[in-house]
Structure 1
Amino acid sequence: MIDTATFWNRAADKYEASKIGNPAAYEYTLGRTRSYLRPTDNVLEIACGTGSTAVLLAPDVASYLGTDISPEMIRIARGKLPVAGADLSFDVTGDLPETGQFDAILAHSFFHLVPDMERRMARIYDLLTPGGFFISKTATLKGRGLKWTLISAVIPLAQLVGKAPYLRKFSAAELEQAVRDAGFEIVESGDFATPARYIVARKPGVASTA
């Protein structure tokens, strides 16, 4: 199987040029995400890709850090700087920060692409301030019917020739249970662009009013 960073480096230019598959669903979930963010928030986005979502949300918060495993994705994202009225930066990393505290952590199109989802969710929990939000959009391929079963069946062949990254398959119910097992309370969830499951979860505690 192709190395993860290598796969996304090769895909970066095509990814940037591609159109959003379901613009209405994207705009809806972007609006939902924005409703949970405050002007005083410090935000981390994991697997930010070429930074398109970061550029839209960063002006609404105090600081915004986008990270991605792919240097090519981050190169394209940095090409979109500066963003007016935003404290926005991009870093290359395949894991979560060792230290820091964030009021919101976003992870879109990410958890189905890593084998250690549970470890990363636990780390997200530790990095969030009490009352902070964990917002994700994740492909859930189990239990989605014949179309997605057939798509899943051909992925191993694509992986053998370097045309697909690692993929983990789970259901929406299994994903939500993993979020709860990490200690979060799910605030809202739904399918707005099948097979993606949008989840907003909250770390228990009282949010800072600073």
Structure 2
Amino acid sequence: MTRREAYWDKAAPQYATQPVKDVVSYEARLERVRAWLTPGMEVLELACGTGETALRLAGTGARIEGTDFSGEMIRVAQEKAAEAGANNVSFRKADLAKAAAGRRYDAVMAFNILHLIDDVEGTLAQIRGALNEGGLLLSVTPCLARNYKIRLSLLPMRLMGKEPKMRFFTVEKLDGMIRDAGFEILETGDYPKWLPNHFVVARAV
């Protein structure tokens, strides 16, 4: 087990019960995602955590498959799906690089994960390769390059090993990386704007 996997396995129980800090922004993002998902779509979620977002999107009628490299996160997500009776939502343990292996999807969701991985370009290329023609990438990514207050506040936790390694993007840099990976950006938004937490809908071209 890697150090990162152990970190998230340990965090899973608290993560599952932790309330959303910015409910208004979270609900706004969900509404925009719902606008792009339709019944019968095959959707992959990367780094789904304990499955809260996937389950909140079950009402779209899309078939959502949540994946995470943390077995404990997936265990909690599966329990929540069983309790909710969400037959169109499933969860499985999978490393990010292997989550889409051998499958094709109409949409891939990557929420709050791109800033936590080293090879963003490679991950975007894998997502592009996993999409059907005209398939969608729906992502949310904190872009903290210019938010010096947040960056400074994270430094002590990172030094103590209590915060996972992060990459600090600008909105412009992230959008450019998505375009360079073979996507046409259809919609963007920042929820919340002050962070910003950057929402992107992009079509594979």
Matches within 5 A, 1:1-210: 3-82=3-82, 83-84=84-85, 86-95=87-96, 96-144=99-147, 149-193=148-192, 194-204=195-205
- In structure 2, relative to structure 1, the CA distance for the partners of 1:76 and 1:143 (3 Å cut) is same
CA distance in 2, matches of 1:61, 1:49: 21
Q: Shift of the alpha carbon at 1:157? A: 3.5
- Measure the CA separation in 1 of the matches of 2:28 and 2:53: 13
Question: Which ranges of 4 or more aligned residues in structure 1 deviate by more than 4 Å?
Answer: none
Q: Which amino acid is 2:29 matched to?
A: T
Asked whether the 8 Å contact 2:144–2:150 carries over to 1, the reply is no
Q: Hey, what's the Cα distance between the residues in 2 that align with 1:196 and 1:187?
A: 17
Q: CA deviation at 1:60?
A: 2.1
CA distances 1:70-94 after superposition (whole Å, capped 9, x unpaired): 1111111011123446322111122
Q: CA deviation at 1:188?
A: 0.8
The superposition leaves residues 8-38 of structure 1 with CA deviations (integer Å, 9 ceiling, x where unpaired) of: 1111111111111111111111111111111
Any stretches of 5+ residues in structure 2 without a counterpart? none
- Percent pairwise identity: 37
1:154 Cα deviation after fit: 4.6
What secondary structure is seen at the aligned counterpart in 2 of 1:129?
A: strand
Q: CA deviation at 1:153?
A: 3.0
SS in 1 for 2:58: helix
Aligned counterparts of 1:90 and 1:139: Cα–Cα separation in 2: 24
Contact 1:140 1:169 (8 Å CA) reproduced: yes
Using the size of structure 1 for normalisation, the TM-score is 0.89
AA aligned opposite 2:45:
E
Matched-pair contact (CA < 8 Å) for 1:59–1:87? no
8 Å contact 1:4–1:166 — kept in the other structure?
Answer: no
RMSD of the alignment, in Å? 1.6
1:122 CA displacement: 0.6
Aligned residues: 199
- Say which SS state the counterpart of residue 191 (structure 2) adopts: strand
Contact 2:135 2:204 in 1 (8 A): yes
Unaligned runs of 5+ residues in structure 1 are 205-210
Task: Give the stretch that moved more between structures: 157-166 or 167-176.
Answer: 157-166
| Contact 2:112-2:142 at 8 Å conserved across structures | yes
Cα distance in structure 2, aligned partners of 1:133 and 1:48: 17
Q: Look up the SS of the partner of 1:48 in the other structure.
A: coil
Secondary structure in structure 1 of the residue aligned to 2:157? helix
Answer yes or no: is the 8 Å Cα contact 1:59–1:86 preserved in 2: no
- Tell me, in whole angstroms, the C-alpha distance in 2 between the residues paired with 1:88 and 1:19: 22
Structure 2 distance, partners of 1:121, 1:67, is: 16
